[in-house]
Structure 1
Amino acid sequence: MDSSMDIMEETRFRKKNQKMAVRISEKLHFTFEEAEYLLLIYYKLQKESKEMAQGMDKTQFRDVLHCALDMTDDYLMDRIFYTLDKGPSPFMSKDIWASSLSLFLRGTIEEKMSYCFTVYDTMGEGVLGRESMFNLMKNSFPTGDEDAEEAAKDLVEVITKKMDCDRDGKISFNDYKQSVLKQPMLLEVFGQCLPTRRDVYTFLTTFVSKISKM
């Protein structure tokens, strides 16, 4: 499975994680072989963690998102982590690891809409008010841009007019969903929180090619 593991370690790994790989393949968007390989990646990262027994730490996961999937928006990263794993622990479980990659690599539009909206809902109110939208848009401009605040306000007005279907001054999930289904490019209107199609393809190509050699 992996040249950095000897045969005995690989065999032990497969046997120990077989049931979890089956469960992942039944629940998420992966085959058994893909699930097994995902767990192997987790295991390799876990071995490099300062506290291996606790699992892979979230800093390592951030590095995976940054290096493998080119997700580099520092402002949104904390929101992404909170949406994927609401627990207070600095470590990420195997289940959260697998479900996160299932979403990023092969998530349905429904899954992605629910995820993105939660990332953007910084106040946790179930709606996107003008303050939340303003903070998200303001941070999309380069640091030090003197016109960023005014530009962000203008964008909030434009987006609200476009997506506020019931005209209550806020964007509910239903408003957001209707808008995205009509215009899919609005999915990440408030900032990147998913990998690009190119980065997904590149990651999956490497992923599948390794599996084919197993």
Structure 2
Amino acid sequence: MSIFDATLNPLEESRFLKRTKELAIELEKVTHFSFVEIQQLLILYYKLQKKTTSKYSPDSKDGELSKDQFAEVMHNCFQMTDSKMTTNIITAMGKKSRSRFISMELWITTLSLFLRGTLEEQIHFCFSVYDITNSGILTKDVLFRFLRHSLFSVSGEGDAEESVKDLLDIIIKKMDLDRDNKISFNDYREYVLKNPKWLEFLGQCLPDRPSAYAFQYTFMPNLPNY
């Protein structure tokens, strides 16, 4: 009988868990998951990448998960439906790598951040999502682009332009702590630590709490209460 997933052949599951045991041990040291929870999430990765190989990326090396498939996980499991923000999030996840695929390590560390990340970890990640120029600074132009996208989605082009400019002025006054007309990482971090509700002020970068809970109780059974 399979340990974690009755839909998998027991021998297939056993071989996979044995092959990834050392990885799970190492990931337990750097994430907010237990060893068993990591194994459960790796089994989910394994099942997803089997679909990926045939549907999305026939050239996927060694059964890696495609970015398109991860985008579907964000959409279907976490209700993160803004395609532009999804692209920015996946780009931020892979800033240290140019690979077109999501490795098992990146899968686990990202889910650790999504599901149980500390405020400090979330601050670093959200800023990275917003920092589309990789400059470490959110200029007025970058802020305008994000705000324009958000408001156009709600109110349409005619009403949004002036609203964006007004909102941009308010944000700069609040978050530009050193008054240099732009928001540095330190500006953002200091302000969000005091005002956590501003963490995702330019758009959703993380799953909401109900979606995060639902994911854990669906794919990581026998969990303690969080």
TM-score bracket for this pair, using the shorter chain length: over 0.9
Counterpart pick for 1:32 among 28, 31, 35: 35
Between 135-144 and 181-190, report the one with greater CA deviation.
135-144
Between 116-125 and 136-145, report the one with greater CA deviation.
136-145
Per-residue CA deviations over 1:142-182 (Å, capped at 9, x if unaligned) read 45431212111111111110111111111111111111111
Residue type of the alignment partner of 1:67: N
Question: Is 1:206 the equivalent of 2:209?
Answer: no
Counterpart pick for 1:105 among 77, 101, 115: 115
Counterpart pick for 1:13 among 6, 12, 16: 16
**Matched position secondary structure for 1:166:** coil
Where do 1:85-164 residues align within 5 Å?
85-86=94-95, 87-143=97-153, 144-164=156-176
> Counterparts of 1:202 and 1:7 in 2: how far apart (Å)?
26
Per-residue CA deviations over 1:30-51 (Å, capped at 9, x if unaligned) read 0000000111111101111133
Per-residue CA deviations over 1:78-121 (Å, capped at 9, x if unaligned) read 21111101333221111111111011001111110001011111
> Counterparts of 2:193 and 2:29 in 1: how far apart (Å)?
27
- Contact residue 37 and residue 211 of structure 1 kept, 8 A: no
User: 2:205 — aligned with what?
Assistant: 193
* Count of residues paired in the alignment: 212
> Counterparts of 2:138 and 2:28 in 1: how far apart (Å)?
34
TM-score (norm 2): 0.89
> Counterparts of 1:70 and 1:35 in 2: how far apart (Å)?
23
User: 1:66 — aligned with what?
Assistant: 75
**Matched position secondary structure for 1:139:** helix
- Higher relative contact order (CA closer than 8 Å, sequence separation 6+): 1
Residue type of the alignment partner of 1:80: I
Question: Is 1:46 the equivalent of 2:49?
Answer: yes
Between 96-105 and 146-155, report the one with greater CA deviation.
146-155
> Counterparts of 1:154 and 1:175 in 2: how far apart (Å)?
20
Instruction: Decide whether aligned partners of structure 1 residues 180 and 102 sit closer, same or farther in structure 2, where only a CA change above 3 A counts.
Output: same
Question: Which runs of 5 or more structure 1 residues have no equivalent in the other structure?
Answer: none
Deviation at 1:70, TM superposition (A): 1.1
* Displaced runs of 4 or more, over 6 A: none
User: 2:183 — aligned with what?
Assistant: 171
> Counterparts of 1:210 and 1:70 in 2: how far apart (Å)?
23
**Matched position secondary structure for 1:147:** helix
Deviation at 1:55, TM superposition (A): 0.9
Over aligned residue pairs, what C-alpha RMSD do you find?
Answer: 1.5
> Counterparts of 1:33 and 1:211 in 2: how far apart (Å)?
10
